Each structure stands twice: as structure tokens, then as C-alpha cells.
């Protein structure tokens, strides 16, 4: 698409229907992504557009997940969704500000080197806000989700402006459930409206079951896929068949448990074009092996239930604030959670009494990166699990990560005013960072994915509900049960169990320790001076060690795989310390 001057304004490659553009006089308006916007509708929006700031209001009116771009009176504005599933990066190339949806593409244009300080920070487990907003290339900047980038025609430095803020969680669930149902229904219909064949995950859980029932109401023929795990206690297939009994028009595909790849499988063969490290590489093989069977059945798009856990079951950290607002109620609920999750009472008391502001919490975390991990309840009821570097990280990695985290603490603003509100958004955005990489992998394999729960309108309607109505030790996902009543049969809404992948992960460590040994034998992280490979090789030879019962290896493996994928791309410009 051209600028009114005749020079190129928008350059890229998109699938059919992914990009819709409108030009009305000198105004340009473009939507790119997962949407159901027609040219006429967008042209009408463009005709009304007088100020780029109005783009935020347009985004709130349009269901889906997409980038929005506008050019009005010479000013360009670019924004992605508030979920963070589609990001915006920018940097200067030959004196001109360039915007991209991938950091690596922009880095290639700029000749930007990898920033080893940021690589060290990504070794943290977990990576706290706002470090995910830091690009891994020097000179490439990230626009945080919920903000837009504005570029004036004067050539002045671009500025960021906030267009989305989370709603206050003040609405009773009884008054909000219909709005949630309508938002999720519209999100699904955006993907089914064009007809044809679409596929859905159907684990039998509340999240995927709700999406499948909503999809079955649309114009598309639905193929539902179930992949039970190896754990004998996994009851996904039983619940999936219970749902399918109510959906005779839906085709059901079931894979045997042994056909499901283990965690850590095929790590050495990953050659996806990744623009940042992602722990999603651990499950890449599990993700793509199902796609050929769905493509063979004609699926043009695959819908997942990913995100239901994040929007329908909020952080228990909300009770940090509820305790101060409704103490007797909160104490009753916390007693229930303690029994449910086996929380130690002293750890609960310390977490609930912790009133440190987020900046102080980050500074303290920067000073304690090498300490043992605290009890899980510490992170559950506070701002989050304090990040850690583990025994295989080098002293240089510890120094660099602490510097990056300490610098971030100087200006960090939490994503919400309370630990619960902050953690709700943090969990959504850290997950979408993984999923955006999965989406590229699946599109590359021939079947693009969509995640209706992560549409902004769905997130907004769910986050508006009172936290004490959303999370309870006595009921599983009350928000989704209330919203789907009348859409999903009651017997399917009664499920309160959730299959776990712990057995697959443990078997994966044992079965693929040879791959992990090979990964550390010529480590790119070691070349950068960030890890001790002897320690990691020792762990690979002891896959049953208690140290590995948690996913503490994931961030290190993610960074190692990412650095290796850079070598196969002439566009990547590693730093002097990297290969």
C-alpha cells in the first residue's frame, strides 16, 4: 500500500483475507490479522477518521485479534491488540522510523546486533514484567501491549500513547455472564463466519468444550480433535466423548496417547524463525504432529481453548486485596485454598502481609537472583514468583541479569494497582508471547491457529468481574460455567478436573536426555559466557533429580534454541560474543 506521496507505506506478505485496507482521500486505514472486517466497513471507518487517536475506539468495536494502522494528515499510528498476541517493534533505518511486527525483521534491516544483556535476562525463571518488553536486539524497541506508536510527519522521534487500560474488577458475575458469553461467541464466530471446515481442540475441559459448542453453532463444519496424555489418571477422552454425544454434526478425531510426542522431543531439529526465545519450543513437536490429520480433513483454521485458564480463573493473589476489603469472607476462602493447594500457613501469612510496592519488589528480586526459590505460595499470593537464576548460570550472567532487572525497577509500573490485577494481565501477556511463536510454526505447517479467549473484548469482559466471583476454592471456573450455561450441557459444565502433563514431561526428560546432552556439548550460551555446560550435562544424565521436577530448565533451553536458529538466517546479526 502506498503513501499519498506515492512512496511505499506498507510492505509485507499476508495470507488471503488477512489484510484489509481502505483509502479515503489522504487517509489510510488497515487491519491485519484475525478478523471479519469487510472492505466496505473499513472504508466507512476511514471516512469518519479525523484523528489517529480514534484508532483505539475502532479497535474496541472490531472483534478479533489484529494490528491496526492508520495514516491521517501525514501522521502514522500503529497498534496491536491489548493481549500482546501481535506485537509492534520500531527502529531507525537510514534516518527513517520503520515499524514491524517482528523484531528480527527489523534487526536485519538495521544491522542490529543481539544484546547479550537481554539474553542473560531471559535466562531468568520466570521473566518478570517489564523485561519481556525489552527487545533482544540493540536499537530495536518494543511497543508494550495496550499502547500505540505515533509517528509524526515532521521526522521527530516517535511517541507512544496508551489506548487500552484494564477495566476495574467491580461487576458481579450474575450481571456480567451474558456479556462474557456474547463476547466469546462473537470471537468464535469471527473465525467460523466464512464457512468451510475449521478444527477445534476438544480436551473435554471447560475451555475447549465451550469453544467447540460455540463453533458448532456457526456456518463452518467442525472437526474436533482429542489427544489424551499417557497418565492413566488422564480423563480428557471420557469428558470429550461426553461432549461429542451432544454434537452429532461434529466430526471427532482421537489420537492414541502413545502418538503424542513427549516434552523436549525434536529440540535439535527446530528451525522455526523465532524473533525471541520461547519456552514453547519444548512442546513444538506436540503442537504440530496433529496438524496433518486436520489438514487432510479440510481444516482451514484451528481454534484452541488456550486462554480460558487465564481469563476464567484469575490469580489467587486477588485475595491480597480482598482480605483488606472483605476480611471475614477472604479468610474463609483462603482456608479453602490452603486445604486445596496444601499451602503452609507461615508462608501464606508472610505473603498476605507483604505490602511492598512493585518497584521495591523488583529491586529486592534483583538482589536475590541466586537465592533458593521461595515456597510456591509466596508467588501465588504476591506480585509473582521472584525470578531466579540457577546453579548453571555463570557469574557474568548473574551480573548482567541483575543489572537489567535493577534498571527496570527504577521506572517499572505494575500492570494493575493490586497484585491480583497485575498477575492477571502478566499471565495473559507472558502466555501470548509463547503463542505468537506457535502461531508462526503452525502457519508454516499449513494450518493457522486462533485463540478466541485472547481477543481483547473477551479479556475485557472477564477482567471486569469481581475477583471473588471469578475464583473460589469451592467451584471450578465459576465464570465460565455461568457464561456457558445454556450453551454447553450441564453435565459437561460439571467437570472440575484438569489433566496434567507432568508424566509426559518426566518421561520426556528420560527419553531425550541424549538431545539435551548434545544441546550443551556445543552451547551458544556457553560461547557467550552465560552458562556452565558441565553442570547442565550432569543434570541431563540425572533426569529424575528432584531439582528438575519444576520447569526450571525451560528458559535456558529456550535461549539456547533461539541462538541456534539465528545461525541459519543471514538476516541475524549476532553480537561479538555470540557465534
Write down the residue that cell numbers 475441559 correspond to.
205
Give me the pLDDT at residue 576, please: 32
Give me the pLDDT at residue 351, please: 96
The C-alpha cell that represents 48 in the structure block:
469518519
Cβ within 8 Å of residue 512, ≥6 positions away: 262, 264, 265, 267
Give me the pLDDT at residue 1, please: 62
pLDDT at 566 over 60: yes
Q: Helix 502-511 crosses helix 513-521 at what angle (to 10 degrees)?
A: 60
The C-alpha cell that represents 387 in the structure block:
525470578
Q: Helix 358-367 crosses helix 395-411 at what angle (to 10 degrees)?
A: 170
Model confidence at 510, pLDDT cuts 50, 70, 90, reads: confident
DSSP letter for 297, please.
Answer: T
Top pLDDT among 574 and 426 is at 426
Give me the pLDDT at residue 251, please: 98
Model confidence at 265, pLDDT cuts 50, 70, 90, reads: confident
Q: Give the rounded distance of the alpha carbon of 46 from its chain centre.
A: 31
Model confidence at 575, pLDDT cuts 50, 70, 90, reads: very low
Give me the pLDDT at residue 551, please: 79
pLDDT at 169 over 90: yes
How many other CB atoms are found less than 10 A from the CB of residue 50?
10
Yes or no: say if 305 and 210 are a contact pair by the CB < 8 Å rule: yes
Give me the pLDDT at residue 350, please: 96
Burial 349-381 (b: 16+ CB within 10 A, else e): ebbbeeeeebeebbbebbeebeeeebeebbbbb
How far, in Å, CA of 137 to CA of 277, rounded? Answer: 12
Model confidence at 233, pLDDT cuts 50, 70, 90, reads: confident
How far, in Å, CA of 10 to CA of 159, rounded? Answer: 19
H or E element at residue 70 = strand 65-72
Please choose, from the candidates 361, 350, 341, the residue with its C-alpha nearest in 3D space to the C-alpha of residue 409.
Answer: 361
DSSP-derived 3-state class of residue 203: coil
79 strand-pairing partners: 68, 148
pLDDT at 577 over 50: no
Give me the pLDDT at residue 572, please: 42
How many other CB atoms are found less than 10 A from the CB of residue 411?
8
Positive or negative: CA dihedral 102, 106, 111, 114:
negative
Tens of pLDDT, residue by residue over 37-59, are 999 999 999 999 999 999 999 99
* 423 CB-side CA count, 13 A: 23
Cβ within 8 Å of residue 194, ≥6 positions away: 17, 36, 219, 220
How far, in Å, CA of 489 to CA of 101, rounded? Answer: 40
Give me the pLDDT at residue 257, please: 87
Percent of the chain with pLDDT over 70: 96
H or E element at residue 442 = helix 419-445
CATH class name, domain 19-162: alpha beta
Please give the average per-residue pLDDT across 424-452, as a whole number. Answer: 96
Please give the average per-residue pLDDT across 245-250, as a whole number. Answer: 97
Give me the pLDDT at residue 514, please: 84
pLDDT at 192 over 60: yes
Asked if omega into 345 is within 30° of 0 (cis), the reply is: no
Please give the average per-residue pLDDT across 61-88, as a whole number. Answer: 96
Model confidence at 578, pLDDT cuts 50, 70, 90, reads: very low
H or E element at residue 410 = helix 395-411
pLDDT at 333 over 90: yes
Q: For Cα atoms 30, 430, 231, give the angle at the middle one, nearest 5 degrees.
A: 120
420 burial level (CB within 10 Å; 0-12, 13-18, 19+) = buried
How many other CB atoms are found less than 10 A from the CB of residue 271?
12
51 burial level (CB within 10 Å; 0-12, 13-18, 19+) = exposed
DSSP-derived 3-state class of residue 502: helix
For the chain, what is the mean pLDDT? Answer: 92
CA dihedral 207, 211, 214, 215 (to 10 degrees): -170
pLDDT at 506 over 80: no
H or E element at residue 226 = strand 221-226
E-strand ranges in 327-477 read 449-450
Tens of pLDDT, residue by residue over 303-326, are 999 999 999 998 999 999 999 999
Write down the residue that cell numbers 482451514 correspond to.
300
Give me the pLDDT at residue 542, please: 82
Give me the pLDDT at residue 501, please: 61
Write down the residue that cell numbers 519481556 correspond to.
132
pLDDT at 8 over 90: no
How far, in Å, CA of 505 to CA of 499, rounded? Answer: 13
Yes or no: say if 405 and 118 are a contact pair by the CB < 8 Å rule: no
Q: What is the pTM of this model?
A: 0.94
29 strand-pairing partners: 22, 70
How far, in Å, CA of 329 to CA of 2, rounded? Answer: 59
Yes or no: say if 292 and 265 are a contact pair by the CB < 8 Å rule: no
Amino acid at each position: 500500500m502506498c503513501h499519498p506521496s506515492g512512496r511505499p507505506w506498507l510492505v509485507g506478505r499476508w495470507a488471503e483475507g488477512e489484510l484489509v485496507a481502505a483509502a479515503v482521500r489522504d487517509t489510510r486505514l488497515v487491519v491485519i490479522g484475525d478478523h471479519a472486517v469487510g472492505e466496505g466497513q473499513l472504508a466507512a471507518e476511514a471516512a469518519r477518521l479525523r484523528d489517529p487517536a480514534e484508532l483505539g475506539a475502532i479497535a474496541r468495536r472490531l472483534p478479533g485479534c489484529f494490528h491496526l494502522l492508520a495514516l491521517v494528515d501525514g501522521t502514522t499510528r500503529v497498534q496491536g491488540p491489548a493481549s500482546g498476541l501481535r506485537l509492534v517493534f520500531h527502529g531507525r533505518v537510514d534516518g527513517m522510523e520503520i515499524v514491524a511486527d517482528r523484531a528480527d525483521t527489523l534487526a536485519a534491516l538495521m544491522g542490529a546486533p543481539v544484546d547479550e544483556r537481554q539474553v542473560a535476562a531471559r535466562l531468568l525463571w520466570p521473566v518478570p514484567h517489564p523485561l519481556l518488553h525489552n527487545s533482544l536486539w540493540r536499537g530495536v524497541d518494543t511497543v508494550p501491549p495496550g499502547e500505540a506508536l505515533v509517528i509524526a510527519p515532521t521526522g521527530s522521534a516517535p511517541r507512544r500513547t496508551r489506548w487500552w487500560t484494564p477495566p476495574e474488577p467491580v461487576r458481579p458475575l450474575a450481571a456480567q455472564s451474558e456479556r462474557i458469553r456474547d463476547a466469546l461467541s462473537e470471537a468464535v464466530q469471527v473465525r467460523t463466519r466464512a464457512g468451510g471446515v475449521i478444527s477445534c481442540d476438544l480436551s473435554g475441559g471447560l475451555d475447549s468444550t465451550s469453544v467447540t459448542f460455540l463453533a458448532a453453532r456457526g456456518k463452518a463444519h467442525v472437526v474436533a480433535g482429542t489427544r489424551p496424555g499417557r497418565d492413566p489418571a488422564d480423563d480428557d477422552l471420557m469428558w470429550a466423548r461426553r461432549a461429542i454425544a451432544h454434537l452429532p454434526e461434529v466430526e471427532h478425531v482421537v489420537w492414541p496417547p502413545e502418538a503424542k510426542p513427549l516434552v523436549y522431543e525434536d529440540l535439535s531439529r527446530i528451525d522455526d524463525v523465532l524473533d525471541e526465545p520461547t519456552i514453547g519450543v519444548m512442546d513444538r513437536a506436540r503442537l504440530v504432529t496433529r496438524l496433518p490429520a486436520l489438514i487432510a480433513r479440510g481444516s482451514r483454521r484451528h481454534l484452541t481453548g488456550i486462554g480460558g485458564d487465564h481469563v476464567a480463573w484469575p490469580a489467587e493473589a486477588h485475595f491480597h486485596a480482598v482480605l483488606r476489603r472483605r476480611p471475614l469472607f477472604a479468610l474463609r476462602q483462603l482456608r479453602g485454598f490452603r486445604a486445596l493447594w496444601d499451602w503452609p500457613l507461615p508462608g501464606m501469612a508472610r505473603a498476605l502481609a507483604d505490602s511492598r510496592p512493585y518497584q521495591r519488589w523488583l529491586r529486592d528480586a534483583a538482589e536475590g537472583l541466586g537465592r533458593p526459590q521461595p515456597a510456591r505460595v509466596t508467588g501465588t499470593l504476591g506480585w509473582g514468583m521472584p525470578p531466579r537464576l540457577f546453579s548453571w548460570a555463570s557469574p557474568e550472567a548473574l551480573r548482567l541479569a541483575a543489572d537489567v532487572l535493577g534498571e527496570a525497577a527504577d521506572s517499572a509500573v505494575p500492570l494493575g494497582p493490586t497484585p491480583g490485577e497485575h498477575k492477571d494481565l502478566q499471565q495473559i501477556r507472558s502466555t501470548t508471547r509463547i503463542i505468537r511463536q506457535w502461531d508462526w510454526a503452525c502457519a508454516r505447517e499449513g494450518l493457522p491457529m486462533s485463540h478466541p479467549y485472547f481477543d481483547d473484548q473477551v479479556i475485557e469482559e472477564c477482567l471486569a468481574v469481581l475477583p471473588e466471583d471469578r475464583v473460589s476454592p469451592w467451584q471450578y471456573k465459576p465464570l465460565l460455567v455461568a457464561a456457558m450455561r445454556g450453551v454447553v450441557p450441564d453435565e459437561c459444565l460439571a467437570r472440575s478436573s484438569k489433566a496434567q502433563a507432568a508424566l509426559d514431561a518426566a518421561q520426556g526428560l528420560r527419553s531425550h536426555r541424549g538431545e539435551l546432552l548434545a544441546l550443551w556439548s556445543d552451547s551458544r550460551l556457553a560461547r557467550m559466557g552465560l552458562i556452565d555446560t558441565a553442570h547442565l550435562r550432569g543434570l541431563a544424565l540425572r533426569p529424575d533429580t528432584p531439582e528438575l521436577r519444576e520447569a526450571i530448565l525451560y528458559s535456558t533451553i529456550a535461549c539456547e534454541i533461539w541462538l541456534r536458529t539465528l545461525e541459519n538466517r543471514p538476516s541475524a546479526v549476532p553480537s561479538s560474543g555470540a557465534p
